[in-house]
Structure 1
């Protein structure tokens, strides 16, 4: 799948880049604190969500689900049980790693049946702008993920935290089996999400950002959620 991005360098320059994404991987249960991950597994098991086969776990998802949305552009979903999750996303354009932000939009009702199936049913919006990983990797743990959702007509902070709470992308690459802790060319990986404030719930709009405090800049995405009827 060919996609076009604007790659922003550390000095503020911008270059258009078009490249093919051949495989998409979503990393789940990617927290650094193993005890906290195990506790969350047990919490979800109590409401019927099956435990992952490994920690972290990697889901192969159709690359055709990747999309880019302008502010307010809708993502169409089936039924009213879906919600977004903010994540850092890495793209391997040849040997260069490019960093974006994305939403692993997921069907929560289907998740209770199969997490793998739930990952496959919804679009995966990503930012139109990317940074070079090499520009931020030295201070990776300082980066901040945030998301907001419009729920019952009110915009509220949905997720917020440093990426330090998640496994470093290089470790995710290594555990997946990529050589030299390097994402293979043509691959993209969602690198795990944060806990939700106030509980997982659907919204009519989802926004997210990856914030670089050293350079005071952000990568952003924003989309509306258009719910399609479930017809028997």
Structure 2
């Protein structure tokens, strides 16, 4: 899947970079703290999702599920987003962006892998060089917002210190310290505030408090009918 990003650097002009992703991996259960992992497991168990066989787990997703459009189509009203760091390579460099592991929660109770595969994965259109944030990685913040009763509500918020380091996840799956060419990986999420629930729109942010900048992306859902 061909993706296009505006590469933002503090000390240089912005540039356009392209990424041709042929392998997409969703790293699940990627918390650094065992208590936080257990919280997320219990959070999902509350909606019928079985416990994982191991942590972390790596789910292979069809690369054509990656999308940068502001509107995405889903089947039924039982899906929801999760803000995650998106790590990928371009021109021999490791880059950082933002993606939503949008998931069908009804199907998730039957199969986590299928529930992830069924939904497209919205990706932001901006990126940073990994080397520009590597020294203060744990300070970066993930946030997301949903719509409830006509209001915008904070849905997720937490530092990346709560999650496994991305290079640890890369090593765990690829057996190397850098993202391979044409590969992308989402790197885990932080807990939902008030429990996992659907929303007609999803706004996500990766914020760098050290450099005072953010990558943001918002998408709305076009809900297709469920036909028996």
Q: Report TM bin, short chain.
A: over 0.9
1:132-187: per-residue Cα shift (whole Å, max 9, x none)? Answer: 000000000000111001123221000001010000101111111332x2111110
- Judging changes above 3 Å, is the alpha-carbon distance between structure 1 residues 101 and 34 closer, same or farther for their aligned structure 2 residues? same
Deviation at 1:105, TM superposition (A): 0.6
CA contact (8 A) 2:142 2:156 kept: yes
**Structure 1 moving runs of 4+ over 6 Å:** none
1:116-142: per-residue Cα shift (whole Å, max 9, x none)? Answer: 000011110111010000000000000
The corresponding residue for 2:28 is 28
Greater mean alpha carbon deviation, residues 113-122 or residues 41-50: 41-50
The runs of 5 or more residues in structure 1 that have no matched partner are none
The corresponding residue for 2:202 is 206
Deviation at 1:19, TM superposition (A): 2.7
Deviation at 1:57, TM superposition (A): 0.4
CA contact (8 A) 1:86 1:146 kept: yes
Q: Does 1:184 align with 2:180?
A: yes
CA contact (8 A) 1:94 1:186 kept: no
Greater mean alpha carbon deviation, residues 10-19 or residues 111-120: 10-19
Paired residues for 1:50-65 under 5 Å:
50-65=50-65
CA contact (8 A) 1:151 1:202 kept: no
Count of matched residue pairs: 228
Q: Does 1:128 align with 2:157?
A: no
1:41-61: per-residue Cα shift (whole Å, max 9, x none)? Answer: 355446431222220000000
- Judging changes above 3 Å, is the alpha-carbon distance between structure 1 residues 16 and 39 closer, same or farther for their aligned structure 2 residues? closer
Q: Counterparts of 1:44 and 1:9 in 2: how far apart (Å)?
A: 37
Question: What's the TM-score once normalised by structure 1's chain length?
Answer: 0.94
State which of 172, 189, 199 in structure 2 corresponds to 1:193: 189
**Aligned Cα RMSD in Å?**
1.4
